[in-house]
Amino acid sequence: MNHRKLANQSVVEIGLGAMNLSHAYGTPPEPAAAKALLHAALDLGINHIDTAALYGFGRNEELVGETLQPFRQRFFLASKCGMTGVNGKRVIDGRPETLKQTCKEALRRLRTDVIDLYYLHRWDKKVPVEDSVGGLADLVREGHIRAIGLSEVSAQTLRKAHAVHPIAAVQSEYSLWTRNPEIGLLTVCRELGTALVAFSPLARGFLANGVPDPRDFVEKDIRRGMPRFHPPHFGRNRKLLDQFNRIAWEAGCTPAQLALAWLLAKAPFVLPIVGTTSIAHLEEDIAASKVRLSADTLATLEKLINADTVSGSRYPPETLAEIDTEETPNAG
C-alpha cells in the first residue's frame, strides 16, 4: 500500500479501526477470531491500528494489547480518552486529571510504554478545550504519548486546541454520504498540517452493500439509532446504490473500494480507517489503495452522493448535541 504522514510518522494510507472487534455493531466476534483479524492486519501490511478506552469499556484496548504487544514496533498505535465507561455507562469527561488517569489505565491495557497518537475522543463542553489539551500536553512532555489528536470537532475548536499544542490529527466521520469535514475542517487541517483520519469511510457498511435491510440489525447495533437507517430515509438512500454500484463496475473495483478510493483522492492528508470483523473484507478494503479514479468518475460520484442527496441526519439529536463537528443541513 501507499503511505501517508501521520504524527510525523509514515503509515499505510488505509488503517484499521479495531472498534468492531469489541463494540458497536452487535455481538462482537469470539476472541480467537478477533485476534486472528488483528494478526492478519499486520500480515497484510497495515501498520496503523486505532482503538479507544470507550470501545467495550476497555476490552478493546486489552484485546489489542494482548494480541499485538509482541509486535509493538511494527505498528503505529492510536487510542482515545475523554469518553469512557463508568459504572457501565458512557461518560464524557475532559478534565485533565481524568485524561491522565485514563491514559495510565490505557498504557496498562495496551501493554506499552507509549501511545503514538492519543485523541480527545469528545470535547467535554463543560471543560475548555484548551484545558483538556493542556493535560494531554503534559502527557507528551512526560513521554506517555507522542502526539495529540482530537475527534469530532469543528475547525474553530481545532484552531483553539492547536494554539495550546500542535494537533497531529483530527478524527472525523468522512465518506461520500457524510461530508461534514468539507464545511471547514479540511481547510484548517491543510493550513495547520493536521491529518484527517476518516472513520466510517464506508458509511457504516452502506456503501459496501452491507445493509440490505436495517430491520435485521441486532439489538446492540448502534445503527438502530441513526436516522439514515430509518424509514423513510433508508429507502431514499438505498436508491443511490444502483448507480453507485454501476460506477464501481465501470471502474473495475468493488463498491467498498470505490468509496475508499474517492476518499483517498480528496487530499493527501486524509487517512481512512476501516472497521471489520472479516479478514476477506479487510483484504478487499486495503486493495482500494491500488484503485485510481478518473476526474470524470470523481465528479460523477460527487454529484450522485452528497449532503443534498443523502436523506436524514447521521446521528440522533441527543448525539448531535454532544459533538462539535459542523453539521450539514438535514437532507431528509
- Report DSSP state, residue 141: H
25, 55, 118, 119: the catalytic one is: 55
Helices (H) and strands (E) in the chain, counts: 12, 12
Cα separation values, 200 from 207, 272, 314, 320, Å: 10, 8, 11, 16
Question: In DSSP terms, which residues pair with 167 in a beta bridge?
Answer: 148
Of the candidates 200, 207, 157, 153, the residue with the CA atom closest to the CA atom of residue 181: 153
Torsion angle of C-alpha atoms 116, 94, 105, 172, degrees rounded to 10: -40
**In the chain, which ranges are E strands?**
3-6, 9-12, 15-17, 48-50, 76-81, 83-86, 89-92, 117-120, 148-151, 167-173, 195-199, 270-274
25 is catalytic: no
Radius of gyration of the chain (CA): 19
Active site residues: 55
